[in-house]
Structure 1
Amino acid sequence: MKVLSYLAFLLVFMSCQSQTKELSLNAKPSKAIAVFASGCFWCTEHVFEAVYGVDEAVSGYTGGTIKNPTYHQVGTNQTGHAEAVAVFYDPKKVSFTQLVDAFFASQDPTTPNQQGPDVGSSYRSIAFYGNLGEKKIIEDKIKALTLAKVFNNPIVTEVKPISAFYEAEAYHQDYVKNNPNQGYVKGVSIPRFNKFVKTYKGKLK
């Protein structure tokens, strides 16, 4: 009976571990998409969903090579993936440049493979681009922040082309909104968001 119970548990566990899927990055008519990684995706998602013109931010994994990675696999820092968000937005209301501003205003881009208390390559800072124009916007922003000496240390944010994006497990979506009293949310996500609100110069919802 114990063997059967263990096998049943294993099957359920394996099923739960394979609930990710590749997210289509084909934007809807009149909409656009941007992808950013800046530490825990609970925090990053909450930030971008507060920006005016953003319809939705989806938590997921990207930047690596393994298909359909799970949260556990990405957390081992062996997949090459980073926790990230796919931001669906209306370019008539908010520009890619403004989203890049929000990206840098909501994190410390000078800490390699780390954001706050979260350490590992899955928490590294990455700004993804869909075309050369977006790449230039990101690189120009990094140069401007460097010249203005906004940060005490060099910016280590990676600038990479958008690649396959895997939507994270359902319980990660809107995590801060759905779990306001969770310890990490209260101790890390909310303070980070409040700091962003004070720093970001763009329009919020």
Structure 2
Amino acid sequence: MKTPGFLILFVAASLVSGAKTTARDQSEAKDRSDLSGLSVATFASGCFWCVEAVYESVRGVHEAASGYAGGHTTDPTYEKVNTRRTGHAESVQVYYDPEVVTFAQLVEVYFCSQDPTQVNGQGPDMGSPYRSIIFYRTDEEKEIAANAKATLAASGKYDKPIAAEIMPFTAFHEAEAYHQDYEFNNPNNPYVRNVSIPRLNRFKKSCPLILK
């Protein structure tokens, strides 16, 4: 989620500000018991700090959690995923009310909030952990994702192929506590200021009608 240049800035900012952690960051895990009964969707499109913030701005989304999905290991961590040996991508699990926002609309948000033609990366974050994936849990979701991808490809909006993979969902491994709500908790972090917040603002400008 951070290029070497941003890593240097990140370390410097952490030394000055103590990484701006909060009690919510430091907790073992967020309590998600109040999310029972909601529908769940999982997406990967680059840094999960960015993607989490995008989906949490969407009407009908009750929570978005950062984590890892799409790989072959059962105990991924941030450090392990960044070796590019786990197969996992930084992903976000979205808990939403289908009476307010549909899976199809969440897929629209997915394509609207990134460069969908970028392969194995998003913005400054490069490599397989940052690749774009739409995970499906049902045949209906698979069809929705495939149709949305095909429609976008046929629209002529982009002169490159749409890079998003469409994969069956198998498991989501929630990331370390300090990654959760990272953009909200660390607004002065250099990466957040220069990458995450601008990406969120571009999305809000492009899709204002779906915002909370």
TM-score range, shorter chain: 0.7 to 0.9
Kindly provide the amino acid, as one letter, of the partner of residue 139 in structure 1: A
TM-score, normalising length: structure 1:
0.85
Question: What's the counterpart of residue 15 of structure 1?
Answer: none
Distance in 2 between the 1:148 and 1:198 partners? 20
CA contact (8 A) 1:77 1:122 kept: yes
**Residue 85 of structure 1, aligned match among 92, 100, 108:** 92
1:32 Cα offset (Å)? 0.2
Residue 11 of structure 2 corresponds to residue 28 of structure 1: no
Residue 108 of structure 2 corresponds to residue 101 of structure 1: yes
Question: What are the Cα deviations for residues 111-157 of structure 1, in whole angstroms up to 9, with x where unaligned?
Answer: 11110000110000000111010111111111111111222211011
The equivalences for 1:12-161 within 5 A come to 28-29=36-37, 31-161=38-168
Distance in 1 between the 2:86 and 2:106 partners? 27
Gaps of 5+ in 2: 1-27
How many residues end up aligned between the 2 structures? 183
CA contact (8 A) 1:41 1:85 kept: yes
Q: Match of 2:86, SS?
A: coil
1:201 Cα offset (Å)? 5.4
Distance in 2 between the 1:125 and 1:68 partners? 21
Distance in 2 between the 1:122 and 1:115 partners? 10
Q: Match of 1:151, SS?
A: coil
Q: Match of 1:35, SS?
A: strand
Distance in 1 between the 2:68 and 2:112 partners? 21
Question: What's the counterpart of residue 7 of structure 2?
Answer: none
Distance in 2 between the 1:64 and 1:116 partners? 22
The equivalences for 1:173-184 within 5 A come to 173-184=180-191
CA contact (8 A) 1:98 1:202 kept: no
Gaps of 5+ in 1: 1-19
1:28 Cα offset (Å)? 2.1
CA RMSD between the two structures: 1.9
CA contact (8 A) 1:60 1:168 kept: yes
Distance in 2 between the 1:44 and 1:202 partners? 18
Distance in 2 between the 1:94 and 1:201 partners? 14
Distance in 2 between the 1:159 and 1:201 partners? 26
1:102 Cα offset (Å)? 0.3
Q: Which has the higher helix share?
A: 2
TM-score, normalising length: structure 2:
0.82
Question: What's the counterpart of residue 207 of structure 2?
Answer: 200
1:97 Cα offset (Å)? 0.6
1:76 Cα offset (Å)? 1.1
